[in-house]
A and B are shown apart, each in its own frame.
Chain A
Amino acid sequence: MKKKVLAALLAGAMVVSLAACGNSGGGSKDGDSGSDSSSSMVVSWWGNQTRNDRTTEVINMYLEDHPGLSIDGQFSEWDDYWNKLATSSAGNALPDVMQMDYMYLDQYVDNGLLLDLTPYIEDGTLDMSNVPENIQESQKVDGKTYAISLGTNANAMFYNKTALDEAGITVKDNMTLDEFVDLCKEVKEKTGLRTNLGYSVESLPEFWCRADDIVLYGDGKLGVDSPDQLQTIFDLEKQGIEEGWHLDPSVFTEITLKSTEQDPLVYGTDPDRMSWCAFSTSNQLTAVQNAAPEGMEIGITTWPSPDPAKSNYLKPSQLFSVSANCEDPDAAVEFINWFINDEACNKVLLGERGVPISTAISDAIASELSETDQAVVAYINDVVTPNSSPINPPAPAGANEFYDILTNLEEQVLYGQLEPADAAQQLFDQGNAALASAQ
């Protein structure tokens, strides 16, 4: 055991030291880039098995049309992906084309690791003519485009439609918080199922702050002026525990948090330890439906908010970026352009990363989508789009630590160890400190 940990620690240090060597190697490499007829490119992404299979398939399609090119497709799980990407960035060895998340975009742009794609959009190499203006806007950082969305998503609450139908309960979109709490009580009474109020869903406070026209993450500090603007989540959790409709917090210690298969919505044997709802994002619907027990239909609706129209937003969650050190940016951009605009390619991908941003493509593949995928498209187009506001700027460095503080405080409130007001105060103080120190 000792050896293993030591090995792990050393391996970490080693990667860093090797990366340092890579630094100088990378420099000399830049000099001789160019006129090779055979070139190679690294494309990386995170995701589930379905995504890996489909992406590998379209890469092979692309290679058939581009003899002489070779593409090394690398994929990992979410957590590993970001570890890997960070370490390779330390060694100037970022993949040529990498899948980027909105949450990390700012950090990578700030450190000058991504190529500015704006010129390619202006000269038409990246064809954005079929992409709605608001989506193009949402992926920009400081007016420049560093990443191209591969699919539009939105926050979505999934619910156990089968159980609620049996109890004669209907869920309406764009609930307010009061309506949501009433619903939680009614569901507990009629079905015995409890509520998972988004414990460990980091963006909930940000979502609710939007209703008050507050952008949660400012420059090196939180955008709220006082702790009570952060208190909503803690208040609801305390109320839920006291009134008995919230899940017992011990449930969260027995599952792997953020694992779709182990979400209390679909995982468990005892209704008292299961939730009727799950706070998630729209592109997860297929995965959740697949994870649900036989005969459980999953419904999709908006996250509750005091002002849904202000809180809701469309989210470019899966993006492609090009490394600032990419040897052949033209080839990388051409690949991305094909990925978002080619019909045959998207008929394989089938919107697995979200609704394709090109309206021409999303129309073209509509007929081939499964029923679940169609529900997602309908949710994005008919429920969220007409009733939403532009997305906040990407979260800055330090947000990860804020999330961790938030989750820890939620836990203490759920266990009854901490009063909501104190929790909000601590989140305010420690959150500000975290954002300031990450500057």
Chain B
Amino acid sequence: MKKKSLTLAQRLNRESTAGVVCSLPFIIGFLFFMIVPMGISLYYSFCDYNILSPPEFVGLKNYIQMFTADDRFWKSIGVTFYFALVSVPLRLIFALIVAMILVKGSKASPFYRAVYYLPSIIGGSVAVSILWKRMFATDGVINQILGMFGLPDNTSWLGQTSTAIWTLIILAVWQFGSSMLIFLSALKQIPAELYEAANVDGANGIQKFFRITLPLLTPTIFFNLVMQMINGFLAFTQCYIITQGKPMDSTLFFTVYTYQQSFEFYKTGYAAGMAWVMLLIVGLVTLVLFATKRFWVYDEGN
């Protein structure tokens, strides 16, 4: 009875209406700019589609070719895994070390916090990528610094398959700022009593780190690991600007290869299929991480 008698004004006045209206920009954006395009790309992945002419349904052809006849596809998966699995742990270790130093607190630490955070903001940009390319050139500043110490100064860092990927990894590790800030706040939340108690028991610094700090940080490490891993798999700009996959595909990221398929070879259907494979890979990796969670992540609740 009550329901029936609601007037329009009353309906509009309900809290849930306000909620829906306020989140409408997101809902519309999500539907039209996420769900719809994703659906379309899923459809295209089963098509021969070269942008210029209408898509033509071909079933699983793209996926079959990808998994059976495309060496570069596998190569790019290998490179992407290598990059993500090396750069992410390195970045987290680095972030944790710097956070441990900064948490000690001095008057200058806010300044250092800001300075160390800077690379995270600018590190993914085109400008820094170009700068990086120049720095690691044979006549670049890295070699000049090495030369000052009497070390060999004519290494072509970008020109060798063994070193080129490392220029990209170093660039990724350098962007440790956001992980560092998260570690920093987590470190500050560790109760001081625990350390005091440990001091009373005569524990040394290393014992305190491994018995108190690290276990209490595991939830934060887990969060960082998941987020950064996803980032790592989807890295694009650095490779696209700095190496273009060279030399000999030793730095060919999956995303860059996808881009090439779509916009250089006009195989947009194939590229859409690759994008879905990447989505599955990232989903799977995240799933695996969550599955291992209970073995190593400290959960205060239990």
B-side contacts of A250, CB under 8 Å: 138, 156, 158-160, 247
User: B247 contacts A249, CB within 8 Å?
Assistant: yes
Docked CA distance A111–B55 (Å): 12
User: B139 contacts A270, CB within 8 Å?
Assistant: yes
Interface centre among A9, A14, A90, A411 (most CB of B within 10 A): A9
Our pick among B33, B41, B53, B158 for the contact of A253 (Cβ within 8 Å) is B158
Question: Quick check: is A108 within 8 A (CB to CB) of the other chain?
Answer: yes
B-side contacts of A82, CB under 8 Å: 263
Q: Mark interface residues in B92-110 (1 if CB within 8 Å of A CB, else 0).
A: 0000000000000000000
Docked CA distance A179–B262 (Å): 41
> Given the interface contacts A2-B231, A16-B37, does A253 sit within 8 Å of B51 by beta carbon?
no
Our pick among B51, B133, B234 for the contact of A86 (Cβ within 8 Å) is B51
> Given the interface contacts A2-B231, A4-B124, does A17 sit within 8 Å of B159 by beta carbon?
no
Our pick among B53, B124, B138, B248 for the contact of A273 (Cβ within 8 Å) is B138
Q: Which stretch from A39-47, A376-384, A400-408 is at the chain B interface? A: A400-408
> Given the interface contacts A1-B231, A4-B124, A5-B234, does A14 sit within 8 Å of B33 by beta carbon?
yes
Docked CA distance A350–B242 (Å): 36
Q: Mark interface residues in A389-400 (1 if CB within 8 Å of B CB, else 0).
A: 000000001001
Question: Quick check: is A176 within 8 A (CB to CB) of the other chain?
Answer: no
> How many Å from the CB of B279 to the closest CB on chain A?
10
A-side contacts of B265, CB under 8 Å: 400-401, 404
User: A417 contacts B51, CB within 8 Å?
Assistant: no
Docked CA distance A408–B264 (Å): 14
Our pick among A16, A89, A254, A270 for the contact of B158 (Cβ within 8 Å) is A254
> Given the interface contacts A13-B40, A269-B139, A404-B260, does A249 sit within 8 Å of B159 by beta carbon?
yes
User: B246 contacts A252, CB within 8 Å?
Assistant: yes
> How many Å from the CB of B46 to the closest CB on chain A?
15
Question: Quick check: is B38 within 8 A (CB to CB) of the other chain?
Answer: yes
> How many Å from the CB of A6 to the closest CB on chain B?
7
Which interface class (under 10, 10 to 19, 20 to 34, 35 or more) fits B?
35 or more
Q: Determine the residue in chain B with the shortest Cβ distance to A273.
A: B138
User: B138 contacts A17, CB within 8 Å?
Assistant: no
> Given the interface contacts A83-B263, A111-B52, does A254 sit within 8 Å of B156 by beta carbon?
yes
A-side contacts of B118, CB under 8 Å: none
Our pick among B34, B164, B249 for the contact of A408 (Cβ within 8 Å) is B249
User: A17 contacts B246, CB within 8 Å?
Assistant: no
User: A400 contacts B266, CB within 8 Å?
Assistant: yes
B-side contacts of A87, CB under 8 Å: 51
Q: Determine the residue in chain A with the shortest Cβ distance to B261.
A: A401
> How many Å from the CB of A356 to the closest CB on chain B?
30
Q: Which of A235-277 contact B (CB under 8 A)?
A: 248-254, 257, 268-270, 273
User: B236 contacts A4, CB within 8 Å?
Assistant: yes
Q: Determine the residue in chain B with the shortest Cβ distance to A417.
A: B248
Total count of chain A residues near the partner, CB < 8 A: 47
Q: Which of B34-52 contact A (CB under 8 A)?
A: 34, 36-38, 40-41, 44, 50-52
Our pick among A17, A86, A89, A248 for the contact of B36 (Cβ within 8 Å) is A17
User: A8 contacts B236, CB within 8 Å?
Assistant: yes
Q: Which of A1-52 contact B (CB under 8 A)?
A: 1-2, 4-6, 8-10, 12-14, 16-17, 20
A-side contacts of B80, CB under 8 Å: none
Q: Determine the residue in chain A with the shortest Cβ distance to B175.
A: A1
Docked CA distance A400–B248 (Å): 18
B-side contacts of A404, CB under 8 Å: 260, 264-265
B-side contacts of A408, CB under 8 Å: 248-249
Our pick among A13, A90, A269, A412 for the contact of B41 (Cβ within 8 Å) is A13
Our pick among A1, A9, A14, A89 for the contact of B51 (Cβ within 8 Å) is A89
B-side contacts of A1, CB under 8 Å: 124, 231, 234-237
Docked CA distance A268–B37 (Å): 45
User: B246 contacts A253, CB within 8 Å?
Assistant: yes
Docked CA distance A207–B133 (Å): 33
Docked CA distance A23–B235 (Å): 33
Docked CA distance A240–B18 (Å): 73
> Given the interface contacts A2-B231, A10-B34, does A254 sit within 8 Å of B138 by beta carbon?
yes
Question: Quick check: is A113 within 8 A (CB to CB) of the other chain?
Answer: yes
Our pick among A9, A86, A252, A270 for the contact of B52 (Cβ within 8 Å) is A86
Docked CA distance A9–B274 (Å): 12
Docked CA distance A111–B159 (Å): 40
User: B52 contacts A13, CB within 8 Å?
Assistant: no
Docked CA distance A1–B178 (Å): 12
User: B275 contacts A9, CB within 8 Å?
Assistant: yes
B-side contacts of A2, CB under 8 Å: 230-231, 234
A-side contacts of B44, CB under 8 Å: 16
Docked CA distance A307–B52 (Å): 37
Our pick among B40, B137, B243 for the contact of A17 (Cβ within 8 Å) is B40
Docked CA distance A82–B275 (Å): 22
Question: Quick check: is A107 within 8 A (CB to CB) of the other chain?
Answer: yes
> How many Å from the CB of B297 to the closest CB on chain A?
22
> How many Å from the CB of B56 to the closest CB on chain A?
12
Docked CA distance A438–B49 (Å): 10
B interface residues, Cβ below 8 angstroms from A:
33-34, 36-38, 40-41, 44, 50-53, 124, 133, 136-139, 156, 158-161, 164, 230-231, 234-237, 243-244, 246-249, 255, 260, 262-268, 272, 275
Q: Contacts A113-B52, A252-B246 known; list 18 others, CB within 8 Å.
A: A1-B231, A9-B275, A10-B37, A13-B272, A16-B40, A83-B263, A90-B51, A107-B52, A248-B156, A250-B159, A251-B138, A251-B156, A252-B159, A254-B137, A400-B265, A404-B260, A404-B265, A415-B161
* A/B interface sample: 27 pairs, CB < 8 A: A2-B230, A4-B236, A6-B234, A8-B236, A12-B262, A13-B38, A13-B41, A16-B268, A17-B40, A90-B52, A113-B52, A249-B159, A250-B247, A252-B159, A253-B164, A253-B243, A253-B247, A254-B158, A257-B244, A397-B266, A400-B264, A404-B260, A404-B264, A404-B265, A408-B249, A411-B247, A438-B50
| 9 smallest beta-carbon distances between A and B, as pairs | A250-B159, A13-B37, A250-B156, A86-B51, A253-B158, A5-B234, A254-B137, A253-B159, A401-B265
